[in-house]
Amino acid sequence: MKKATLIEYGVPIDADVMVHPPDTDEFQLEPGHPGLGDEAYIQRRRELFALCRKHRLENLGPPIIEYTPEETRIWREVSPKLDELHQKFACSMYLEAKQALNITREEIPQLRHLSERLQRETNMHLVPAEGALPYRIFYEYIAQRGFPVTQFIRHGSHPEFTPEPDMIHDCLGHVPPLMNQDYAELLTLIGKAVATATDGEHVLNLKRFSWFSIEFGLLEEHGEVKIFGAGILSSFGEIPYSVQSPEVRREPFVTDVVINTDYDPSRMQDHLFIAPSFVFLRRELEALVKRLGIPVL
Ligand SMILES: [Fe+2]
């Protein structure tokens, strides 16, 4: 990959960005994680880490997990609150997909079953992920129509908060939109383009395109602004903030602006873009990939 000085999250990065975070078989909670010091939680996370890593590396698909009463308690606390917000603020495609996938407030869904349903609907599938994967590996799965998802749940002391993507973020944020064909093709193309790009600046352009759509995208629907980004839909605070707060700058999704806009993932997002449709995003991405000369189409 061509070396370039790039700025991501306001911090200079080098072209080795695609190999971060490191691929490791050692489980560790990051500093400041609310589960640090809770031995039972750490032990459970270690077990799920080993199981999901094995299933991922051996291509076994998501394992069936027997969730503990504490994990189910957290799900039952978080999921109804998010669902109420979704009913008000999420785009209709997301709401229909969540219902079609039978994701309920009561039971933690099994990723294996969700994956089977997605496969039938849009030919996407879920890949069990032990945690955050190196970018290169993450996007290579997406290029193969697989979305890496975690199977662990956040720590019960702060059900509204997780410092890392967990299965609430993945299941309630990323999985439902995979039922939409245009969204599925958009995502797959992002994966193919990032996995194929040889220029660090192109990778950064694509990551920003993805951030402001897949993670933090807004959609115009019948004259209203609705949410489809997974990072917003899995956060109590970001949902109303993104569409109601006067502090947030919302502007139409213009690709040239989006790919030159930096973001800080550690804060609430105060600059968002509104897309007119998933077909629009898909066409914009196709045009961008062509313009960058990435040979994937
Ligand atoms: Fe995400």
Find the CATH number of the domain harbouring 28. Answer: 1.10.800.10
34 domain-assigned? yes
Q: Give the residues of the chain that fall short of pLDDT 70.
A: 1-19
Q: What is the pLDDT of residue 10?
A: 62
Q: Looking at 55, 86, 125, 174, which residue is catalytic?
A: 174
Q: Quote the domain boundaries for residue 92.
A: 6-292
297 domain-assigned? no
Q: What is the pLDDT of residues 181-213, one digit of tens each?
A: 999 999 999 999 999 998 888 988 999 999 999
Distance 224 CA to ligand 1 centre (A): 24
266 domain-assigned? yes
215 classed as catalytic? yes
What angle in degrees, to the nearest 10, is found between the helix axes of 181-196 and 278-292?
A: 20
Q: What is the pLDDT of residue 297?
A: 72
229 domain-assigned? yes
CA distances from 215 to 54, 142, 209, 229 (A): 27, 15, 9, 4
Distance 37 CA to ligand 1 centre (A): 26
SS3 72: helix
Q: How far apart are the first and last CA of the chain?
A: 20
Distance 190 CA to ligand 1 centre (A): 14
Distance 221 CA to ligand 1 centre (A): 23
Report if pTM > 0.85.
Answer: yes
Q: Looking at 234, 235, 238, 284, which residue is catalytic?
A: 234
Q: What is the pLDDT of residues 38-80, one digit of tens each?
A: 999 999 999 999 999 999 999 999 999 999 999 999 999 999 9
Helical residues (DSSP H) of 177-262, grouped into ranges: 181-196, 200-210, 230-233, 238-244, 255-258
1 domain-assigned? no
234 classed as catalytic? yes
Count of structural domains, the chain: 1
200 domain-assigned? yes
271 classed as catalytic? no
CA distances from 289 to 149, 186, 196 (A): 26, 12, 11
Distance 215 CA to ligand 1 centre (A): 6
Rounded distance between C-alpha atoms, residue 92 and residue 221, angstroms:
8
286 classed as catalytic? no
Q: Looking at 71, 130, 215, 238, which residue is catalytic?
A: 215
Q: What is the pLDDT of residue 116?
A: 98
104 domain-assigned? yes
Q: What is the pLDDT of residue 26?
A: 85
